[in-house]
A = this chain, B = another copy of it.
Amino acid sequence: MTTASRNEHLDPGLAKVLTYIEAHKDEFLERLIEYLCHPSISPQNVGMDDVAELLLKMLRRVGLEARAIPTKGYPVVLASWNHAPNAPTVLLYGHYDTMSAEPLDAWASPPFEPAIRNRRVYARGAGDNKGQHFAQILAVESYLKVHGRLPCNVTILLEGEEEIGSPNLADFASAHRDLLKVDLVVTADGPQHESGRPIITYGVRGVVSFELRARGANRDVHSGNLGGVVPNPVWTLVHLLASMKDKAGNITIPGFHDDIVCPTELDLAAAALLPSDANELRRSLGFRTLDAPVDRPLTDRLMFHPTLSINGLHGGYSGPGMLTIVPGEAFVKCDSRLVHNQDPGDILNKIEAHVKRHAPDVEFVRLESTPPSKTPLDAPFSRNVQWAVSIGQEEDPLIFPALGATLPDHVFTKLLGSPSFVIPYANADEANHAPNENISVDCFIKGIRTGAALLYALSRRS
Protein backbone atom coordinates (compact mmCIF):
# COMPACT_ATOMS: atom_id res chain seq x y z
CA MET A 1 0.00 0.00 0.00
CA THR A 2 1.44 3.42 -0.89
CA THR A 3 1.09 6.39 1.43
CA ALA A 4 -1.11 8.10 -1.13
CA SER A 5 -3.49 5.15 -1.38
CA ARG A 6 -3.51 4.86 2.40
CA ASN A 7 -4.67 8.42 2.92
CA GLU A 8 -6.98 8.58 -0.09
CA HIS A 9 -9.59 6.34 1.43
CA LEU A 10 -9.13 7.38 5.03
CA ASP A 11 -12.30 7.82 7.04
CA PRO A 12 -12.81 11.53 7.75
CA GLY A 13 -13.31 10.80 11.47
CA LEU A 14 -9.88 9.17 11.76
CA ALA A 15 -8.30 11.77 9.46
CA LYS A 16 -9.48 14.49 11.84
CA VAL A 17 -7.80 12.73 14.78
CA LEU A 18 -4.54 12.31 12.84
CA THR A 19 -4.63 16.01 11.95
CA TYR A 20 -5.17 16.84 15.64
CA ILE A 21 -2.11 14.71 16.55
CA GLU A 22 -0.01 16.48 13.92
CA ALA A 23 -1.11 19.87 15.26
CA HIS A 24 -0.28 18.96 18.88
CA LYS A 25 2.96 17.09 18.47
CA ASP A 26 5.15 19.73 20.11
CA GLU A 27 2.88 19.76 23.13
CA PHE A 28 2.88 15.93 23.25
CA LEU A 29 6.66 15.91 23.14
CA GLU A 30 6.87 18.40 26.03
CA ARG A 31 4.49 16.26 28.06
CA LEU A 32 6.57 13.14 27.33
CA ILE A 33 9.66 14.97 28.57
CA GLU A 34 7.83 15.95 31.75
CA TYR A 35 6.75 12.31 32.32
CA LEU A 36 10.32 11.04 31.80
CA CYS A 37 11.60 13.30 34.60
CA HIS A 38 9.99 10.93 37.13
CA PRO A 39 12.08 7.84 37.84
CA SER A 40 10.26 4.55 38.52
CA ILE A 41 12.89 1.84 38.84
CA SER A 42 11.36 -1.45 39.94
CA PRO A 43 14.65 -3.38 40.55
CA GLN A 44 15.68 -0.63 43.00
CA ASN A 45 12.21 0.36 44.30
CA VAL A 46 12.68 3.99 43.30
CA GLY A 47 9.67 6.24 42.68
CA MET A 48 7.21 3.43 41.97
CA ASP A 49 4.24 4.75 43.99
CA ASP A 50 4.81 8.33 42.83
CA VAL A 51 4.63 7.37 39.17
CA ALA A 52 1.59 5.13 39.73
CA GLU A 53 -0.09 8.16 41.33
CA LEU A 54 1.02 10.44 38.47
CA LEU A 55 -0.48 7.99 35.95
CA LEU A 56 -3.81 7.88 37.80
CA LYS A 57 -4.10 11.66 37.57
CA MET A 58 -3.04 11.65 33.92
CA LEU A 59 -5.53 8.93 32.94
CA ARG A 60 -8.41 10.59 34.81
CA ARG A 61 -7.60 13.91 33.16
CA VAL A 62 -7.83 12.15 29.79
CA GLY A 63 -11.33 11.05 30.75
CA LEU A 64 -10.89 7.45 31.84
CA GLU A 65 -11.93 5.71 35.01
CA ALA A 66 -8.66 4.80 36.66
CA ARG A 67 -7.45 3.07 39.78
CA ALA A 68 -4.29 1.57 41.21
CA ILE A 69 -4.82 -2.04 42.27
CA PRO A 70 -2.37 -3.51 44.77
CA THR A 71 -0.48 -6.74 44.06
CA LYS A 72 2.08 -8.59 46.17
CA GLY A 73 4.58 -6.21 44.52
CA TYR A 74 3.98 -2.89 42.83
CA PRO A 75 0.43 -1.78 41.99
CA VAL A 76 -1.22 -2.27 38.61
CA VAL A 77 -2.67 0.93 37.15
CA LEU A 78 -5.92 0.05 35.40
CA ALA A 79 -8.00 2.54 33.42
CA SER A 80 -11.02 2.07 31.19
CA TRP A 81 -13.52 3.68 28.87
CA ASN A 82 -16.54 1.43 28.30
CA HIS A 83 -19.20 3.44 26.51
CA ALA A 84 -19.32 1.69 23.11
CA PRO A 85 -21.62 -1.25 23.88
CA ASN A 86 -21.61 -2.73 20.39
CA ALA A 87 -17.88 -2.34 19.77
CA PRO A 88 -15.07 -4.63 20.89
CA THR A 89 -12.85 -3.96 23.89
CA VAL A 90 -9.09 -3.67 23.49
CA LEU A 91 -6.65 -4.06 26.36
CA LEU A 92 -3.63 -1.81 25.90
CA TYR A 93 -0.77 -3.30 27.96
CA GLY A 94 2.34 -1.43 29.02
CA HIS A 95 4.62 -1.07 32.03
CA TYR A 96 5.50 2.02 34.02
CA ASP A 97 8.61 0.55 35.63
CA THR A 98 12.09 0.84 34.10
CA MET A 99 15.46 -0.82 34.54
CA SER A 100 18.04 1.01 36.66
CA ALA A 101 20.06 3.68 34.88
CA GLU A 102 23.53 2.43 35.84
CA PRO A 103 26.26 3.06 34.79
CA LEU A 104 25.36 6.72 35.14
CA ASP A 105 28.64 8.06 33.76
CA ALA A 106 27.97 6.34 30.42
CA TRP A 107 25.04 8.70 29.76
CA ALA A 108 25.66 11.77 27.56
CA SER A 109 22.87 13.54 29.51
CA PRO A 110 21.46 12.51 32.90
CA PRO A 111 18.88 9.69 32.60
CA PHE A 112 16.13 11.59 34.40
CA GLU A 113 16.78 14.99 32.79
CA PRO A 114 15.41 14.24 29.33
CA ALA A 115 17.34 15.86 26.48
CA ILE A 116 16.54 16.17 22.79
CA ARG A 117 19.42 15.56 20.37
CA ASN A 118 19.20 14.53 16.69
CA ARG A 119 15.40 14.44 16.93
CA ARG A 120 15.50 11.86 19.72
CA VAL A 121 14.48 12.11 23.35
CA TYR A 122 17.18 10.63 25.61
CA ALA A 123 16.08 9.39 29.05
CA ARG A 124 15.63 6.19 31.01
CA GLY A 125 12.23 4.85 30.00
CA ALA A 126 12.05 6.89 26.79
CA GLY A 127 11.69 3.71 24.73
CA ASP A 128 11.10 1.06 27.38
CA ASN A 129 8.26 1.71 28.03
CA LYS A 130 7.07 5.20 29.02
CA GLY A 131 7.40 6.68 25.53
CA GLN A 132 5.34 3.83 24.12
CA HIS A 133 2.44 3.57 26.58
CA PHE A 134 2.30 7.37 26.79
CA ALA A 135 1.75 7.33 23.01
CA GLN A 136 -1.21 4.95 23.57
CA ILE A 137 -2.65 7.26 26.21
CA LEU A 138 -2.26 10.28 23.90
CA ALA A 139 -4.02 8.38 21.11
CA VAL A 140 -7.01 7.85 23.42
CA GLU A 141 -6.83 11.47 24.55
CA SER A 142 -6.71 12.76 20.96
CA TYR A 143 -9.71 10.68 19.96
CA LEU A 144 -11.69 11.92 22.94
CA LYS A 145 -10.66 15.55 22.33
CA VAL A 146 -11.75 15.39 18.68
CA HIS A 147 -14.88 13.23 18.98
CA GLY A 148 -15.83 13.26 22.65
CA ARG A 149 -15.97 9.49 22.56
CA LEU A 150 -13.96 6.44 21.42
CA PRO A 151 -14.94 4.16 18.56
CA CYS A 152 -14.34 1.06 20.75
CA ASN A 153 -13.94 0.20 24.42
CA VAL A 154 -10.50 0.56 25.93
CA THR A 155 -8.83 -0.91 29.01
CA ILE A 156 -5.34 0.33 29.77
CA LEU A 157 -3.26 -1.95 32.01
CA LEU A 158 0.10 -0.58 33.15
CA GLU A 159 2.07 -2.88 35.41
CA GLY A 160 5.06 -1.96 37.58
CA GLU A 161 6.97 -5.24 37.46
CA GLU A 162 7.81 -5.99 33.84
CA GLU A 163 11.52 -5.37 34.38
CA ILE A 164 11.61 -7.86 37.24
CA GLY A 165 9.83 -10.63 35.29
CA SER A 166 6.13 -9.78 35.85
CA PRO A 167 5.94 -12.09 38.88
CA ASN A 168 2.40 -11.06 39.80
CA LEU A 169 0.78 -10.43 36.42
CA ALA A 170 -0.78 -13.88 36.01
CA ASP A 171 -2.17 -13.83 39.56
CA PHE A 172 -3.50 -10.34 38.97
CA ALA A 173 -5.24 -11.41 35.77
CA SER A 174 -6.73 -14.48 37.49
CA ALA A 175 -8.03 -12.42 40.38
CA HIS A 176 -9.52 -9.68 38.19
CA ARG A 177 -11.00 -11.54 35.26
CA ASP A 178 -14.15 -9.43 35.63
CA LEU A 179 -12.16 -6.26 34.86
CA LEU A 180 -10.31 -7.91 32.00
CA LYS A 181 -13.10 -9.14 29.76
CA VAL A 182 -11.51 -7.97 26.53
CA ASP A 183 -11.56 -9.00 22.88
CA LEU A 184 -7.89 -8.47 22.13
CA VAL A 185 -4.67 -7.25 23.72
CA VAL A 186 -2.22 -4.85 22.12
CA THR A 187 1.23 -4.26 23.58
CA ALA A 188 3.38 -1.38 22.40
CA ASP A 189 6.87 -2.42 23.55
CA GLY A 190 10.29 -3.28 22.20
CA PRO A 191 12.14 -2.01 19.13
CA GLN A 192 11.01 -1.99 15.52
CA HIS A 193 12.97 -3.94 12.89
CA GLU A 194 16.54 -2.84 12.30
CA SER A 195 15.57 -1.98 8.71
CA GLY A 196 13.21 0.63 10.19
CA ARG A 197 10.13 -1.37 9.19
CA PRO A 198 7.29 -1.64 11.70
CA ILE A 199 6.58 -5.06 13.18
CA ILE A 200 3.59 -6.98 14.47
CA THR A 201 4.42 -10.00 16.59
CA TYR A 202 1.84 -12.72 17.10
CA GLY A 203 3.63 -15.01 19.52
CA VAL A 204 6.63 -15.60 21.75
CA ARG A 205 8.69 -18.59 22.80
CA GLY A 206 8.32 -19.71 26.38
CA VAL A 207 11.20 -20.65 28.64
CA VAL A 208 12.11 -23.07 31.40
CA SER A 209 15.39 -22.88 33.23
CA PHE A 210 17.05 -25.31 35.57
CA GLU A 211 20.33 -26.22 37.21
CA LEU A 212 22.05 -29.60 37.46
CA ARG A 213 24.47 -30.18 40.32
CA ALA A 214 26.87 -33.12 40.35
CA ARG A 215 29.14 -34.20 43.19
CA GLY A 216 32.08 -36.61 43.33
CA ALA A 217 34.39 -36.73 46.34
CA ASN A 218 33.82 -34.30 49.21
CA ARG A 219 36.85 -32.28 48.03
CA ASP A 220 39.05 -31.89 44.96
CA VAL A 221 41.55 -34.77 44.85
CA HIS A 222 44.90 -35.36 43.08
CA SER A 223 44.32 -36.75 39.59
CA GLY A 224 47.40 -38.99 39.91
CA ASN A 225 46.72 -40.35 43.37
CA LEU A 226 43.01 -40.90 42.76
CA GLY A 227 42.28 -40.42 39.05
CA GLY A 228 40.38 -43.45 37.78
CA VAL A 229 39.13 -44.22 41.29
CA VAL A 230 37.07 -41.22 42.37
CA PRO A 231 34.18 -40.29 40.05
CA ASN A 232 34.51 -36.98 38.21
CA PRO A 233 31.39 -34.76 38.44
CA VAL A 234 32.34 -32.80 35.31
CA TRP A 235 32.41 -36.03 33.30
CA THR A 236 29.05 -36.91 34.88
CA LEU A 237 27.57 -33.66 33.57
CA VAL A 238 29.25 -34.06 30.16
CA HIS A 239 27.69 -37.49 29.65
CA LEU A 240 24.32 -36.42 31.06
CA LEU A 241 24.20 -33.33 28.82
CA ALA A 242 25.31 -35.35 25.78
CA SER A 243 22.31 -37.62 26.43
CA MET A 244 19.97 -34.60 26.34
CA LYS A 245 21.00 -33.13 22.97
CA ASP A 246 23.03 -34.87 20.30
CA LYS A 247 25.88 -33.43 18.27
CA ALA A 248 23.52 -32.86 15.33
CA GLY A 249 21.50 -30.49 17.51
CA ASN A 250 18.49 -32.75 18.19
CA ILE A 251 17.06 -32.57 21.69
CA THR A 252 16.87 -36.21 22.79
CA ILE A 253 14.86 -35.97 26.01
CA PRO A 254 11.98 -38.46 25.64
CA GLY A 255 8.65 -36.76 25.00
CA PHE A 256 10.20 -33.30 24.66
CA HIS A 257 8.62 -32.67 21.24
CA ASP A 258 5.30 -34.44 21.91
CA ASP A 259 3.07 -31.40 22.32
CA ILE A 260 4.63 -29.15 19.71
CA VAL A 261 2.05 -27.91 17.24
CA CYS A 262 3.73 -27.32 13.90
CA PRO A 263 3.60 -23.87 12.35
CA THR A 264 0.65 -23.31 10.00
CA GLU A 265 0.93 -22.63 6.29
CA LEU A 266 0.25 -18.99 7.13
CA ASP A 267 3.08 -18.97 9.70
CA LEU A 268 5.54 -20.49 7.24
CA ALA A 269 4.52 -18.14 4.46
CA ALA A 270 4.89 -15.10 6.76
CA ALA A 271 8.29 -16.33 8.02
CA ALA A 272 9.51 -16.78 4.45
CA LEU A 273 8.76 -13.11 3.76
CA LEU A 274 10.89 -11.83 6.64
CA PRO A 275 14.27 -10.32 5.82
CA SER A 276 17.13 -12.44 7.14
CA ASP A 277 20.84 -12.27 6.48
CA ALA A 278 22.80 -15.09 8.09
CA ASN A 279 26.06 -13.83 6.61
CA GLU A 280 25.66 -10.40 8.16
CA LEU A 281 24.80 -12.00 11.50
CA ARG A 282 27.87 -14.23 11.34
CA ARG A 283 30.03 -11.25 10.47
CA SER A 284 28.71 -8.97 13.20
CA LEU A 285 28.86 -11.63 15.92
CA GLY A 286 32.08 -13.19 14.66
CA PHE A 287 31.00 -16.85 14.49
CA ARG A 288 31.58 -19.27 11.62
CA THR A 289 28.58 -21.55 11.32
CA LEU A 290 24.99 -21.40 12.49
CA ASP A 291 24.15 -23.61 15.44
CA ALA A 292 23.26 -27.25 14.74
CA PRO A 293 21.00 -28.50 13.16
CA VAL A 294 22.43 -26.81 10.08
CA ASP A 295 19.46 -27.28 7.72
CA ARG A 296 17.07 -24.68 9.06
CA PRO A 297 16.17 -21.22 7.75
CA LEU A 298 17.41 -18.50 10.08
CA THR A 299 13.99 -17.08 10.99
CA ASP A 300 12.44 -20.53 11.57
CA ARG A 301 15.10 -21.24 14.21
CA LEU A 302 13.86 -18.46 16.44
CA MET A 303 10.13 -18.87 15.88
CA PHE A 304 9.34 -22.53 15.36
CA HIS A 305 12.02 -24.56 17.16
CA PRO A 306 12.69 -25.08 20.83
CA THR A 307 16.24 -24.85 22.19
CA LEU A 308 18.28 -26.37 24.97
CA SER A 309 20.98 -23.83 25.79
CA ILE A 310 23.77 -24.24 28.31
CA ASN A 311 23.94 -20.85 30.02
CA GLY A 312 26.95 -21.79 32.13
CA LEU A 313 28.92 -24.88 33.15
CA HIS A 314 31.50 -24.70 35.90
CA GLY A 315 33.58 -27.25 37.77
CA GLY A 316 37.19 -27.55 38.88
CA TYR A 317 40.28 -25.51 38.18
CA SER A 318 40.02 -22.27 36.20
CA GLY A 319 43.39 -20.55 36.74
CA PRO A 320 46.40 -20.33 34.47
CA GLY A 321 48.35 -23.46 33.48
CA MET A 322 47.44 -26.78 35.04
CA LEU A 323 46.15 -28.06 38.33
CA THR A 324 45.87 -31.82 38.00
CA ILE A 325 42.79 -32.48 40.11
CA VAL A 326 39.58 -34.43 39.96
CA PRO A 327 37.05 -31.75 40.97
CA GLY A 328 34.69 -32.45 43.87
CA GLU A 329 31.68 -30.73 42.31
CA ALA A 330 30.31 -29.15 39.17
CA PHE A 331 27.10 -27.47 38.08
CA VAL A 332 25.43 -26.47 34.86
CA LYS A 333 22.70 -23.91 34.30
CA CYS A 334 20.45 -24.39 31.27
CA ASP A 335 17.44 -22.83 29.68
CA SER A 336 15.07 -24.26 27.12
CA ARG A 337 13.02 -21.96 24.91
CA LEU A 338 9.65 -23.55 24.23
CA VAL A 339 7.39 -23.24 21.22
CA HIS A 340 3.66 -23.58 20.74
CA ASN A 341 2.09 -25.74 22.42
CA GLN A 342 4.73 -26.94 24.93
CA ASP A 343 3.87 -26.68 28.61
CA PRO A 344 6.67 -25.57 30.97
CA GLY A 345 5.65 -27.84 33.86
CA ASP A 346 5.37 -30.86 31.60
CA ILE A 347 8.74 -30.13 29.99
CA LEU A 348 10.45 -29.72 33.37
CA ASN A 349 8.93 -33.05 34.46
CA LYS A 350 10.31 -34.74 31.35
CA ILE A 351 13.76 -33.24 31.82
CA GLU A 352 13.78 -34.25 35.48
CA ALA A 353 12.71 -37.81 34.62
CA HIS A 354 15.50 -38.01 32.04
CA VAL A 355 18.07 -36.78 34.58
CA LYS A 356 16.90 -39.29 37.18
CA ARG A 357 17.17 -42.10 34.63
CA HIS A 358 20.65 -41.19 33.34
CA ALA A 359 22.34 -39.74 36.41
CA PRO A 360 20.25 -40.46 39.51
CA ASP A 361 22.76 -38.79 41.83
CA VAL A 362 22.65 -35.47 40.00
CA GLU A 363 20.52 -32.86 41.71
CA PHE A 364 17.86 -31.21 39.54
CA VAL A 365 16.84 -27.67 40.53
CA ARG A 366 13.91 -25.93 38.83
CA LEU A 367 14.40 -22.22 38.30
CA GLU A 368 12.10 -20.13 36.12
CA SER A 369 9.34 -20.97 33.69
CA THR A 370 7.04 -19.02 31.37
CA PRO A 371 4.75 -20.63 28.80
CA PRO A 372 4.98 -19.80 25.11
CA SER A 373 2.18 -17.80 23.54
CA LYS A 374 0.64 -17.89 20.11
CA THR A 375 -1.97 -15.80 18.39
CA PRO A 376 -2.88 -17.26 14.98
CA LEU A 377 -2.12 -15.02 12.03
CA ASP A 378 -5.80 -15.26 11.10
CA ALA A 379 -7.04 -14.54 14.63
CA PRO A 380 -9.93 -12.09 15.09
CA PHE A 381 -8.83 -8.46 14.65
CA SER A 382 -5.58 -9.51 12.98
CA ARG A 383 -6.40 -7.63 9.77
CA ASN A 384 -7.67 -4.61 11.73
CA VAL A 385 -4.39 -4.41 13.63
CA GLN A 386 -2.32 -4.79 10.45
CA TRP A 387 -4.32 -2.07 8.73
CA ALA A 388 -3.94 0.26 11.73
CA VAL A 389 -0.18 -0.19 11.82
CA SER A 390 0.20 0.47 8.11
CA ILE A 391 -1.84 3.70 8.49
CA GLY A 392 -0.18 4.85 11.71
CA GLN A 393 3.36 4.00 10.64
CA GLU A 394 2.82 4.88 6.96
CA GLU A 395 4.46 1.57 6.01
CA ASP A 396 3.28 -2.04 5.88
CA PRO A 397 4.47 -4.01 8.91
CA LEU A 398 6.65 -7.12 8.95
CA ILE A 399 4.59 -10.00 10.30
CA PHE A 400 6.39 -12.11 12.90
CA PRO A 401 4.51 -15.32 13.72
CA ALA A 402 6.66 -15.48 16.85
CA LEU A 403 9.61 -13.91 18.63
CA GLY A 404 12.62 -15.92 19.80
CA ALA A 405 12.52 -14.28 23.22
CA THR A 406 9.95 -14.60 25.99
CA LEU A 407 7.26 -12.10 27.09
CA PRO A 408 4.34 -12.71 29.47
CA ASP A 409 1.86 -12.83 26.55
CA HIS A 410 0.55 -16.18 27.77
CA VAL A 411 -1.35 -14.26 30.45
CA PHE A 412 -3.40 -12.69 27.65
CA THR A 413 -3.69 -15.64 25.26
CA LYS A 414 -3.96 -18.57 27.65
CA LEU A 415 -5.40 -16.97 30.78
CA LEU A 416 -7.69 -14.33 29.26
CA GLY A 417 -8.22 -16.25 26.02
CA SER A 418 -7.65 -13.18 23.85
CA PRO A 419 -5.59 -12.70 20.73
CA SER A 420 -2.48 -10.70 21.62
CA PHE A 421 -0.48 -8.46 19.28
CA VAL A 422 2.84 -6.81 20.06
CA ILE A 423 3.50 -3.63 18.06
CA PRO A 424 6.83 -1.98 18.90
CA TYR A 425 6.73 1.81 18.55
CA ALA A 426 10.40 2.49 19.38
CA ASN A 427 13.29 2.79 16.93
CA ALA A 428 15.53 -0.31 16.57
CA ASP A 429 18.41 1.51 18.29
CA GLU A 430 16.36 2.62 21.30
CA ALA A 431 19.10 1.20 23.60
CA ASN A 432 16.60 -0.21 26.06
CA HIS A 433 18.17 -1.38 29.34
CA ALA A 434 21.35 0.50 28.30
CA PRO A 435 22.82 3.99 28.79
CA ASN A 436 21.50 6.68 26.44
CA GLU A 437 18.13 5.02 26.01
CA ASN A 438 16.05 7.03 23.55
CA ILE A 439 12.99 7.21 21.36
CA SER A 440 12.99 9.12 18.10
CA VAL A 441 10.47 11.94 17.93
CA ASP A 442 9.21 10.43 14.71
CA CYS A 443 8.62 7.01 16.29
CA PHE A 444 6.84 8.62 19.24
CA ILE A 445 4.45 10.58 17.01
CA LYS A 446 3.86 7.61 14.70
CA GLY A 447 3.08 5.59 17.82
CA ILE A 448 0.30 8.03 18.74
CA ARG A 449 -0.99 7.84 15.16
CA THR A 450 -0.91 4.03 15.29
CA GLY A 451 -2.83 4.01 18.56
CA ALA A 452 -5.51 6.24 17.07
CA ALA A 453 -5.72 4.20 13.86
CA LEU A 454 -6.10 1.07 15.99
CA LEU A 455 -9.10 2.48 17.90
CA TYR A 456 -10.75 3.35 14.64
CA ALA A 457 -9.88 0.02 12.98
CA LEU A 458 -11.41 -1.99 15.81
CA SER A 459 -14.76 -0.32 15.27
CA ARG A 460 -14.79 -2.00 11.85
CA ARG A 461 -15.42 -5.72 12.43
CA SER A 462 -12.68 -7.81 10.85
Which A residues contact B (CB, under 8 angstroms)? 205, 207, 209, 215-219, 221-232, 234-235, 238-239, 241-243, 245-247, 281, 285-292, 298, 301-302, 305, 307, 309-318, 321-327, 330, 332-333, 335, 337, 361, 367-368, 403-406
Contacts and interface: CB of A to CB of B under 8 A. Distances in A.
Contacts of A361: 288
Nearest to A403: B224
A315 B313 contact: yes
7 tightest Cβ-Cβ pairs between the two chains A and B: A224-B405, A312-B316, A218-B286, A312-B317, A242-B242, A217-B285, A234-B310
A285 B218 contact: yes
Most buried by B among A205, A285, A305, A332: A285
Contacts of A228: 291, 301-302, 305, 307, 337, 404
Nearest to A407: B224
A316 B313 contact: yes
A217 B314 contact: no
Contacts of A242: 238-239, 242
Contact of A245 (B235, B326, B404): B235
B290 A229 contact: yes
Contacts of A313: 234, 238, 313-316, 330
A404 B225 contact: yes
B309 A223 contact: yes
A229 B330 contact: no
A406 to B, nearest CB: 5
Given A222-B405, A313-B330, 15 more contacts: A215-B287, A217-B285, A223-B335, A224-B337, A227-B307, A231-B289, A234-B313, A238-B310, A239-B246, A242-B242, A311-B322, A311-B325, A312-B327, A313-B315, A322-B368
Contact of A291 (B224, B229, B245, B321): B229
A287 B230 contact: yes
A402 to B, nearest CB: 11
A224 B207 contact: yes
Nearest to A244: B238
